[in-house]
Each structure stands twice: as structure tokens, then as C-alpha cells.
Amino acid sequence: MKGYACLLAAGLALGLWTGAAAYPGEPDGFGDMRWGDSVKKVSERYASQYLEDTLGGGALYAVHFTDFTEQMGIRGPLVVTAAFDRGKLVQINVPLALESAEETEKAFAAYTARLEAQCGAPDEHTDDTALWVGRKTSLYVQKTEEGLLVCFMDADRMKKALSGK
């Protein structure tokens, strides 16, 4: 839940959800999961485990990728947290664990530089976060105590949630 809530807070704080434009290489989901996929559809493809409900009728699931190919510089196998709103996929949180604050600092710099080369300049960049706002997928990278958190978000759904529609 922490990851889902932090993204909504980040979107509110940044106020960038209106007038989003696509960025080069913008995905329409994560792996072969697409925005709007049902819990059932995702669970039929991947080992999934219910974690908890979220506010407003959502739920979080751990999704285990065993045969994942690279996407946006992320390789598998890995376990992600999938956020569903009213049974539809709206966000994927990818935690990238690192051993120390130094490693996290280096990884954040290297990963955001890679994304800038691939996607262009982020719409917002601070010492601890970077955000690319897209038409289909918004991409958010954040330093955490455990390492990096990379979030892929259904841009249209997040824009609607933040506007209250």
C-alpha cells in the first residue's frame, strides 16, 4: 500500500497530471501486463498472491515474474506489486533492493540517466525522485531506504483519480 499511496502523493505534489505528452519508448503496461487487465487475467499468466485491500475498492497483489525479459532497464526474475482499482490493473511497483545508501545513490543516478537517454528529460526531477508523465504510462523512480522503487502507472487512471473523476 505504501508504494501506491506514495505515487498518488507524488502526483498531487507535482501537479503534472494534466496535459501529459508521450515520451519516447513509452510502454503500455509492464511486461506483458497491460493497463486494465483483470486480476484473473494476470493471475492466469503469473503466480500471484493477494496482499491487501487499498482505499476505494482496490487491492494489491505480489506478482512473480520468472521469465521476464528486459523492460526500461529492468530484468527478471523479480517480484513486483500490482495495484488494481476495481479489479483493473492501474500500477506496477518494482522494488530494486540495494545494500547501502551509496549504492542507492549511484543506482539512482545511473538509472535516471539511462531513462533520460531513452525517454528524454523527466517532467520532474529532484534529488530523490524522477517522473516521466506519459499518455499511457507514467514512470516514477524514487530512492527508498531499501534501494530504488520504480513505478509504472496507468497515466489516464491516475489523472482521473487525482482530478476526482
Q: Rounded to whole angstroms, how far apart are CA atoms 128 and 17?
A: 19
Residues 26-66 pLDDT 10s? 888 888 889 999 999 999 999 999 999 988 789 999 999 87
Taking alpha carbons only, the member of 84, 40, 31 closest to residue 60 is 84
Residues 100-132 pLDDT 10s? 999 999 999 999 999 999 889 999 999 999 999
Grid coordinates representing 17 are 497530471
Amino acid 7: pLDDT:
45
Residues 78-96 pLDDT 10s? 899 999 998 999 999 999 9
Q: Tell me the pTM.
A: 0.83
Comparing 59 with 24, the larger pLDDT belongs to: 59
Amino acid 5: pLDDT:
39
Amino acid 164: pLDDT:
63
Comparing 163 with 3, the larger pLDDT belongs to: 163
Which domain, by its residues, includes 114? 2-163
**Total domains present in the chain:** 1
